[in-house]
Amino acid sequence: MKEAVDNALDACEEAGILPDLSVEIRNHESEECTIIVEDNGPGIIKQQIPHIFGRLLYGSRFHAVRQTRGQQGIGISAVVLYGQLTTGKHAQIMSKIAADRPAVVTSLAIDTSKNRGEVVAQEVQHWDKPNGTRIEVTINANYRNGKRFVYEYLQSTSIVNPHARITFKDAEGQTAVFERTADTLPPKCVEIQPHPYGVELGTLIKMAKEAKSRKLASFLKTDFCSMGDRTADAVCQEAQLDRNLNPKELSRDQLAQLHKAFKKVKMMSPPTECLSPIGEMLIKRSLKNETQEISPECIVTASRPPAVFSGNPFQVEVGIVYGGKLPKDKSVRLMRFANRIPLLYQQGDCASTAAIASMDWRRYGFDQPNGVGVPTGPAIFLTHLCSTQIPYTSESKEAIADIEEIENEVRLAFRECARKVQHHINKKVRRVKTREKFDLITKILPEIAKKSAHMLDKPVPSLDKVITRIMDVVWIEDAIEYEKVKRTPGKAMQAKLGTDLAQLKDDGGWITKSSILIVNYKNKPQRFSLYALIPKDAVIGTITPQPTKVTPDYIRWNLESIDPTNKLDVYFELAGLNKGDFDENDLYVQGINPSYVIGADQWEGE
């Protein structure tokens, strides 16, 4: 099922179609299961069906230097072969390439001696879909033991592929639908030339024999990335090879010298347009959609800048779901992904698990004996690695190898997320305690004042000064509301949205309205700067009062003197987000002792 789903997602994305997948499992009385995966992709012409589903290593993307789900070109053919060997039944493939063309149904077997697909039967059939592919394979399997993993795999796939809609019908006839949370396809990855640091000797020999350039220096510049005139000359000098040599005529020993020279010359990192990360906002949106039942307190995400290991560009994205109905006395649940594919097994052998276990989570409010190991607490940890070459520990592709650069990036990303969670918890605890104190004061003191005034036959005194002396804080409280785009957004938002404004209104988009209340409960006037962080992809609209500074990342107000017991309202609007994307303001203050402030932290700079 995993191989068929991966192929379906790839086919739809390459054709520019939002994936709409249907997965079904039929459990037979014997130890056989029939797996059916159907997509709305571009379909496959009938001449190619035997090659795609019946030949191992056909169409391999192993040497393509860009982010891909599969690499070896073995998966789906191996599934067809396994079904044939264990049950003796042939795979059934239905494909339709256009609305005005009939569907072709192929019964397919594999000739193992020739590594060729054999068409057992083929017929034309009506299919009420404009285009798509459907594969049906019967295999020898135990559905009862694998049921939980099947659901987990599809749920996890939905989280890291927010642009896909997946319908799953299990063997008991129950249907689950994983709705898409994004209506745009991920950006296409651009294939790049291999980087000298990451190329193997055997690959280098093959590249040299097939080189179109007649000079070694030209071959290095045109067939590798991050290689200019200076770098090519430095490599040739380090390898003690003439830059004018014909690469096709180089011996194995000369190419081995060249390969060693690559490691000794400092080069630029490879370009990163070959990667397609999910993005912080889409990860948060997907996690929120799939964890509605547990009502989490907060969901935070972080995305690291692209980095490099052995000449292979990679990027790490992480997320933490915290609180709600998640168990407090069990280890946090780990969700691991690589190139948008869930990694369900071999958790203990994975670099992402090792990175998490090496952190001291006690400082962030989690339980962790001796400060080592996977922490305990009400949380789900998500980590996603995208790279041109995922360094798996084995052919099963279920765990990421121990690479120092990857582990460091995972740790840095989770530290950023953990700080956000800690900020949320601290703000919540301080606010609850202060509100209890305030409620107590505002209930008891007025009664005391009334009775005292009555006994002395005097007017009820003002309690403002007394309350400020007892409270002695600056109270900041924020609220988020969403409004469907019916009215015309302000001029500032219109200018930034540009041509997207009409699309926003047509699509029934949302305007996020953020209100911040500031009350001075100290006995002296207060003046300070307030910062509100802006989520990525958001467009800033109306802001009141007039801000001191606006950047794509934050808004800053230099607030003039606020007298004791006085209030100040701050308001701003955002567009370009979905409902629920922005559910809590990240607020910071500067120019005031942060211990006096409830609801905001100390600004540490950009």
* pLDDT tens for each residue of 518-527: 989 888 899 9
Model pTM above 0.85: no
Judge whether residue 97 has pLDDT over 60. yes
Range name among 21-35, 48-62, 72-86, 552-566 with the lowest pLDDT average: 48-62
Judge whether residue 60 has pLDDT over 50. no
Do residues 409 and 311 touch, judged by C-beta distance below 8 A? Answer: no
Long-range contacts of 503-510 (CB under 8 A, 24+ apart): 504/575, 504/576, 507/183, 508/484, 509/484, 509/485, 509/575, 509/576, 510/482, 510/483, 510/484, 510/485, 510/575, 510/577, 510/578, 510/579
Band (65; pLDDT cuts 50, 70, 90): low
Judge whether residue 171 has pLDDT over 80. yes
For residues 431 and 76, which has the higher predicted lDDT (pLDDT)?
76
pLDDT of residue 66: 52
Band (337; pLDDT cuts 50, 70, 90): very high
Average pLDDT in the 341-363 region?
A: 91
Average pLDDT in the 402-431 region?
A: 88
Judge whether residue 301 has pLDDT over 80. yes
In the structure, how many helices (H) and strands (E) does the chain have?
Answer: 14, 24
Q: Which two tokens stand for residue 91?
A: 């795979």
Range name among 30-34, 72-76, 517-521 with the lowest pLDDT average: 72-76
In which element (H, E) is residue 561 found?
strand 554-562
Do residues 334 and 374 touch, judged by C-beta distance below 8 A? Answer: yes
pLDDT of residue 69: 55
Instruction: Give the CA-trace dihedral at 250, 256, 261, 263, to 10 degrees.
Output: 140
pLDDT of residue 23: 94
Average pLDDT in the 39-63 region?
A: 77
CATH 3.40.47.10 correct for 472-602: no
Judge whether residue 499 has pLDDT over 60. no
For residues 344 and 71, which has the higher predicted lDDT (pLDDT)?
344
pLDDT of residue 413: 95
pLDDT of residue 21: 94
Average pLDDT in the 16-24 region?
A: 93
Residues 476, 597: Cα–Cα separation, whole Å: 7
Specify the domain boundaries for CATH 1.10.8.50 within the chain.
196-264
Do residues 20 and 165 touch, judged by C-beta distance below 8 A? Answer: yes
Judge whether residue 431 has pLDDT over 80. no
Average pLDDT in the 456-485 region?
A: 83
Residue 602 CB: number of other CB atoms within 10 A?
12
Range name among 331-345, 347-361, 458-472, 489-503 with the lowest pLDDT average: 489-503
For residues 421 and 29, which has the higher predicted lDDT (pLDDT)?
421
Residues 223, 221: Cα–Cα separation, whole Å: 6
pLDDT of residue 502: 46
In 101-239 the beta strands, taken as DSSP E runs, fall at 103-111, 116-125, 132-140, 165-169, 175-178
pLDDT of residue 545: 92
pLDDT of residue 352: 94
Band (63; pLDDT cuts 50, 70, 90): very low
Residues 532, 3: Cα–Cα separation, whole Å: 44
Range name among 56-60, 173-177, 276-280, 321-325 with the lowest pLDDT average: 56-60
Closest CA to 51 of 113, 119, 124: 119
Handedness of CA 225, 226, 230, 234 (dihedral sign): negative
Average pLDDT in the 311-320 region?
A: 90
pLDDT of residue 353: 94
For residues 54 and 220, which has the higher predicted lDDT (pLDDT)?
220
Band (500; pLDDT cuts 50, 70, 90): very low
Residues 446, 453: Cα–Cα separation, whole Å: 10
In which element (H, E) is residue 40 found?
none
Q: Which two tokens stand for residue 436?
A: 């209890």
pLDDT of residue 354: 94
pLDDT > 90 in the chain, percent: 33
Do residues 530 and 600 touch, judged by C-beta distance below 8 A? Answer: yes
pLDDT of residue 62: 44
Specify the domain boundaries for CATH 3.30.230.10 within the chain.
280-422
CA–chain centroid gap for 427, Å, is 26
Q: What secondary structure does DSSP assign to 419-456, as a single string?
A: HHHHHHHHHHHHHHHHHHHHHHHHHHHHHHHHHHHHHH
Average pLDDT in the 90-110 region?
A: 90
Specify the domain boundaries for CATH 2.60.40.1170 within the chain.
472-602
For residues 485 and 93, which has the higher predicted lDDT (pLDDT)?
93
The β-bridge partners of 118 are: 109
pLDDT of residue 503: 47
Residues 589, 570: Cα–Cα separation, whole Å: 14
Do residues 265 and 235 touch, judged by C-beta distance below 8 A? Answer: yes
Judge whether residue 501 has pLDDT over 50. no
Choosing among 1.10.10.10, 3.40.50.12780, 1.10.8.50, 3.90.1570.10, the CATH entry for 196-264 is 1.10.8.50
Band (498; pLDDT cuts 50, 70, 90): very low
Average pLDDT in the 272-296 region?
A: 87
For residues 323 and 466, which has the higher predicted lDDT (pLDDT)?
323
Judge whether residue 68 has pLDDT over 70. no
Q: What is the third-level CATH fold of 2-178?
A: Heat Shock Protein 90 (3.30.565)
Judge whether residue 497 has pLDDT over 90. no
The β-bridge partners of 570 are: 516
Residue 25 CB: number of other CB atoms within 10 A?
20
Q: Which CA distances in Å does 468 have to 36, 248, 427, 521, 563?
A: 68, 84, 20, 4, 11
Range name among 49-58, 222-231, 409-418, 573-582 with the lowest pLDDT average: 49-58
Average pLDDT in the 323-342 region?
A: 91
Choosing among 3.30.56.10, 3.30.230.10, 3.40.190.10, 3.40.50.300, the CATH entry for 280-422 is 3.30.230.10
Band (169; pLDDT cuts 50, 70, 90): very high
What pLDDT, in 10s, does the model give residues 239-257?
999 989 998 989 999 999 9
pLDDT of residue 165: 94
pLDDT of residue 130: 92
Residues 375, 326: Cα–Cα separation, whole Å: 14
The β-bridge partners of 341 are: 338
Judge whether residue 494 has pLDDT over 60. no
Range name among 141-155, 209-223, 304-318 with the lowest pLDDT average: 141-155
